[in-house]
Amino acid sequence: MARHPGAGMKAVKASPFVVNVARLGRRPGALMPLQEQRSSPSRIGLDLMAIPPHAAVDLDLRVESVSEGVLVTGVVSAPTAGECARCLQPLTGDIEVELTELFAYPDSTTDATTDDEIGRVVDDSVDLEQAIVDAVGLALPLSPLCEPDCPGLCPDCGVALASAEPGHHHDKIDPRWAKLAEMAGPLGSQGTESNDDGER
């Protein structure tokens, strides 16, 4: 059975963060500066803060051929969006992360390792997406806050306490006394009625 050329070879997935490095030619010391803007293919980050899908991601990188592969170093920056961990108000900002990532050449000593965390040069290309995802995930706060002293939400009604009226609170009866309060209501009413009858 005839096979399509290249069948069975692992191909780099379609990603906006794929960079063609063919012109480096596996020549140690060959350098390719990369200053481009790419679009985030999906949400990148943590539950409460992330780079939104389709956001503009700025790459300011140095792509260099070394003996074992392609070394990518530089800075990646992008806008972020999320919500405050306490009051859930929308948050926006920016993030800047540094990349230092080695992608092993096929048949190199580094390529022979079983370490899944090492990237590979595939079809003369490197995919920076996972490196960016990892760097952004480490740089973002797990619990972002709109203000360092954000008071959060009212536990009773859910209103944001920062925008509530001063002294916002709810009168609550200790549940241990709530039943007695319910019983005291009718008894108090009966006592008042008796006093009214006696005065007549």
Average pLDDT over residues 161-180: 68
Above pLDDT 90, what percent of the chain?
58
pLDDT greater than 70 at residue 146 = yes
What is the pLDDT at residue 76?
98
What is the pLDDT at residue 5?
37
pLDDT greater than 80 at residue 178 = no
Domain ranges of the chain: 18-139, 151-182
| 10-19, 50-59, 62-71, 142-151: segment of lowest average pLDDT | 10-19
Query: CB neighbours of 180 closer than 8 A, spacing ≥ 6?
Result: none
Query: What is the distance between the alpha carbons of residues 11 and 121, in angstroms, rounded to a whole number?
Result: 10
Q: Is 66 exposed, middle or buried (0-12, 13-18, 19+ CB in 10 A)?
A: middle
pLDDT greater than 80 at residue 186 = no
Number of H helices, E strands in the chain: 2, 9
Query: What is the distance between the alpha carbons of residues 129 and 78, in angstroms, rounded to a whole number?
Result: 14
Of residues 21 and 178, more confidently modeled:
21
Q: How many angstroms separate the Cα of 108 from the Cα of each of 8, 64, 99?
A: 20, 16, 22
Of residues 65 and 197, more confidently modeled:
65
Averaged pLDDT of the chain: 83
